[in-house]
Structure 1
Amino acid sequence: MAESFSSDRDDIPAFAGDDVVRLFTTTYLPLCRALHSAGAIDPASLARRIAAGAAADAGAPWTTLAHALAGVLCDDAAKTGA
C-alpha cells in the first residue's frame, strides 16, 4: 500500500495508509456486524472466506488488514455462537 495518497490540489487532503485502514475498519466491520444481526451473514463463514482469499494473495498489501478483519469476525462469531 502506498504510504500516502495525495493530490496536487490544496483542497483535497492527503491520506496515509493508516487513514485508509481506519476508514475501511470503521465502515466494513460495523456493516458486517449489522448484517449478522439481521441474519444476512454468518461471520465465521465470512471470516473463513476472507482468510482464504488473503492466503491466495499472500504478500499483497491488503492481506494484513484482511487477516485482522477475519480475526475480529471469528471473535464475534465465538461470542455470539454463530
Structure 2
Amino acid sequence: MSFLDFLLSSFFPFFPSLSLSFSLSTLTSFLPFCSISFPFPFSFSFSFFSAFFAFFAFLAALMAFLLAFLVITRSCLKSFS
C-alpha cells in the first residue's frame, strides 16, 4: 500500500469497502487530471492528481466546518452576553 492510498483510506474510509469493478469515465471526462481506476482484486490505484484533488477537497471541507463552528459559537456567545 502506497502512502497516497493510506492517506486516502484514512480520509475516506468507505473506499476499501467498494467491491465492484467499474470505471469512472464520466468523472474522468469532467476532471481530466483525475484518473481513478478500480481494478478487480480490490486494490485501488489513484493518480497523483486525484490524491491532490481529494486532499484539497478535504481541507476545504475542514475549513468550512471550522468557519461554521466559529460563527455559531460567536453568535451563541453574543446572545448570552
- TM-score normalised to structure 2 length: 0.34
Larger Rg: 2
